[in-house]
Amino acid sequence: MPPLLQVRHLNIEFPGQPTGVPRQSLTAVRDLSFSIAPGEVLGLVGESGSGKSITSLAIMQLLPPQARVSGEILFAENGKQRNLADLPADSMRQLRGFRLAMIFQEPMTALNPVMRVGDQIAEAVGAHNAISKRDAWQRAVDAMNDVAIPDAARRARDYPHQLSGGMRQRIMIAMAIVNRPQLLIADEPTTALDVTIQAQILDLLAELRTK
């Protein structure tokens, strides 16, 4: 059985800024290789600016258009490997948020400020499932319960600014797990939280991995 995710010789470059003076491109990631088995946890460790987030965005095919990506990002689905690096955008949209999902660093920039958090999670459900709005909403509330949000049915009607930083991050996790993805990428999900909340979020992720 192939690994769930296999990255081979990944290189990511960005062109120099057009200032009239020739500039070399910026290499964000050079010759990176790793693999992840189902149920395994893998951490990318490095100083700020070393390419950890860029690598995550490349896997999700969320890099800006000017990024140049080479190498292979092989994702196993139904026993077959698909190279996410050159997968057509339409095909990638079918996978993103369904087979693979990502928890971003800052919920306030990732969440829609004028949309109820329950609706945002339900929207992720409806994007990948033939399901009624009522059932999608219930799936959203269930996901919020899974990430230990108290009184989830009521809090689902809140807007992001009405929630604490820790609760917003839990909403992001609920949105990422609601479709039960095979691969979950967490891009420093505790950076903006205090130490106590950081520990709670990490414990939550460890618990969810076993489900």
The full set of domain ranges for the chain reads 1-92, 96-210
Please give the CATH topology (third level) of the domain spanning 96-210. Answer: Rossmann fold (3.40.50)
Least confident piece of the model among 99-108, 112-121, 140-149: 99-108
Q: What is the pLDDT of residues 17-45, one digit of tens each?
A: 665 555 678 999 999 999 999 989 999 99
Whether domain 1-92 has CATH 3.30.420.10: no
70-83 CB burial, b ≥16 within 10 A, e <16: ebebbbbeeeebbe
The predicted pLDDT at position 186 comes to 92
Q: For residue 49, how many other CB atoms are within 10 A of its CB?
A: 9
The residues, ordered by sequence, that sit 6+ positions from 57 with a Cβ below 8 Å of its Cβ are 63
Q: Do domains 1-92 and 96-210 have the same CATH topology?
A: yes
Residue 108: per-residue pLDDT = 84
**170-192 per-position pLDDT tens digit:** 999 999 999 999 999 999 887 76
